[in-house]
Amino acid sequence: MKTYLSLILIALSATGTVLAQTSTNLSTVQADIPAKMPLVKAAEVTLTATNDFLTNNGGTRNSTAGVAAYEMYLALDLQRVSNISGEFMAHFVSIQGTDPSTRIGDSQVASNIAMPGEVNRVTDLWYMHKWNDNSHTLFGIHDISSEFYITESSLGFMNSSFGTGSEFASSGQAGPSMYPITSDGIRQHFEFDNNIWLKAGVYDADPSDHRAYSKSRGSLFITELAYQTENKKISLGAWNYTKHFSKHDSQAEEISWGLYSLAEEKINDNMSVFARLGWANPNVNIFQQNLALGTTYRALFLPKMDDEIGLGMSRVDFSSAYRNALLVNDNFKTFSHETAYELYYQFSPFGEIFRLRPDIQFIRHPSGATNTPDAWVFGLRTLITI
């Protein structure tokens, strides 16, 4: 395994050097674009390649797995070339490889780019119009997790629960409109003053269905109110589906809905902390609650390589109705919760174009199963951006 990772590092290091040269050439070409091509001048293309290599000891079975996500972003700022105050975004995602959580057996998903199967689809395709400095409207195919239920200081963690809370991410027919499986919707943003803003959106409730919107699938509504400064954010959010879902303990149906709260603060130029708490209707959702806490620190050992270290904990509590249903229907006993502890260290040996992120996770009570041992997960993430 050590030899395997060493070869990977050597290969990717060489790739990073080549890509750094390519990025410089692309920048030169863009600077030489003639004025007769204004749309090209206003466009920005970004390519990313993220690779996760994870080895677990414990869980469902010991294994090694790899998963990769290749993405292309096309952003267009119309205000650069016209009097239209609007932005266009197209985002394509291709995910390949094996989901490590199928071997770990965890519910929170150890790699936030992993999927049960191969994915090739457009994740974002939207237009946002700015009515004024305090109001803008977005419509099209949109990733909710890029704007709602987000703490910037937790985005470096590999476990999915540090991105969007598991109680919301696992809700609905096939999850909300969230990376990489998204749906069409409308989002409105209001700013009441420099520090308080409100976002509200409505989305197709079943992103797995590619057909045009149907009333039978229902809609997902989400709202978030936040107080945010340069160094601090405190927000409250709520979401609900219009479609009813079967209750765990009966044939009756209820609406799936939930609440969440977020808080993060930049203590100084180097250190940030965050806390997140989400709750979902336990009668129809597997997860009743998700609590996540953590801290990150930049420029600890290698400031010239933009290094960062992060330590976090995320705990999900399973719905008591869900656990009772498993016991009654399948005679399957479960723990009340699953907890993931994560430590990562990131550095950029070739500048922003190439980053390495060694990662360690300890999963306590994977999926709450009493017959599944706790798991240690050792990971390495590589990120290339041009």
Position 17 scores a pLDDT of: 39
Average model confidence (pLDDT) for the chain? 87
Gap between the Cα atoms of 259 and 279, Å rounded: 5
Q: Is the pLDDT of residue 385 over 50?
A: yes
Position 211 scores a pLDDT of: 65
Mean pLDDT across the stretch 35-45? 65
Lowest average pLDDT, out of 32-46, 72-86, 125-139, 160-174, goes to 32-46
With a pLDDT cut of 70, the percent of the chain lying above it is: 88
Q: Tell me: the pLDDT tens digits for 187-219?
A: 999 999 879 999 999 999 999 876 666 667 899
DSSP string for 299-331: SSS-GGGT-EEEEEEEEEEE-HHHHHHHHHHH-
Range 2-385: architecture per CATH: Beta Barrel (2.40)
Whole-model pTM: value is 0.86
**Could you tell me which of 315, 249, 312 has the C-alpha nearest to residue 278?**
315
Mean pLDDT across the stretch 297-319? 92
Position 41 scores a pLDDT of: 65
Tokens encoding 265:
């603060």
Q: Tell me: the pLDDT tens digits for 228-285?
A: 999 999 999 999 999 999 999 888 999 999 999 999 999 999 999 999 999 999 999 9
**Could you tell me which of 167, 187, 185 has the C-alpha nearest to residue 175?**
167
Position 5 scores a pLDDT of: 39
Q: How confident is the model at residue 306 (pLDDT cuts 50, 70, 90)?
A: confident
Q: Are 379 and 111 in contact (CB under 8 A)?
A: yes
**What residue has token string 């963690």?**
157
Q: Are 307 and 349 in contact (CB under 8 A)?
A: no
- Helix (H) or strand (E) holding 15, with range, is helix 2-31
Tokens encoding 76:
């267009």
Q: Are strands 63-77 and 43-58 parallel, antiparallel or unpaired?
A: antiparallel
Position 350 scores a pLDDT of: 83
**Could you tell me which of 114, 108, 110, 72 has the C-alpha nearest to residue 95?**
114
Q: How confident is the model at residue 328 (pLDDT cuts 50, 70, 90)?
A: confident
N- to C-terminal Cα separation, the chain? 29
Gap between the Cα atoms of 112 and 54, Å rounded: 12
With a pLDDT cut of 90, the percent of the chain lying above it is: 73
Q: Is the pLDDT of residue 20 over 80?
A: no
Gap between the Cα atoms of 172 and 335, Å rounded: 23
Per the model's pLDDT, the better-predicted residue between 159 and 12 turns out to be 159
Q: Cα torsion for 366, 367, 373, 374, to the nearest 10°?
A: 20
Number of other residues whose CB lies within 10 A of the CB of residue 43: 17
Gap between the Cα atoms of 55 and 40, Å rounded: 43
Q: Is the pLDDT of residue 35 over 60?
A: no
Give the count of alpha carbons within 13 A of 192, CB side only: 9
DSSP 8-state secondary structure symbol assigned to residue 29: H
- Helix (H) or strand (E) holding 42, with range, is helix 38-42
